[in-house]
Amino acid sequence: MKRVGFLLKVREDRLDEYKEHHRNVWPEMLDALRKHGWGNYSLFMREDGLMFGYVEVPDTFQAALDGMAGEDVNTRWQEMMSAYFESPGSGRPDESMLELEEVFHVA
């Protein structure tokens, strides 16, 4: 199991809508996440929309991302979510999830 942290930035004018979508994640999206090993997955957000994500994956973060990339439900979800993010590029939100280096952990 690998612990992964990443940052994303949600547009400040879309925070409430973004949070509402995450209170009502599609059941088939949750199934796809579980199928590809996304466990103990959490998102934390500051008032300005800076968001920290944490997930535990069985192998590598890239393998977990690659698994989701092949899911139709993920394609639809990422297309819907793309309007909510400030992004330096024009890619999907899950393509902007850059893994952070873990520098400390206590169990």
Q: Residue 64: how many CB atoms within 10 A of its CB? A: 24
**Considering 21, 22, 36, 105, which one is annotated as catalytic?**
22
What domains does the chain contain, in order, with CATH numbers? 2-95 (3.30.70.100)
Amino acid at 25: V
pLDDT, residue 89, reads: 59
Dump pLDDT digits (tens) for 49-74: 999 999 999 999 999 999 999 999 99
Active site residue 21: no
Q: What is the pTM of this model?
A: 0.90
CA-based nearest residue to 10, from 55, 60, 47: 47
Strands (E), the chain: 2-10, 39-45, 50-57, 85-86
Dump pLDDT digits (tens) for 17-44: 999 999 999 999 999 999 999 999 999 9
pLDDT, residue 88, reads: 57
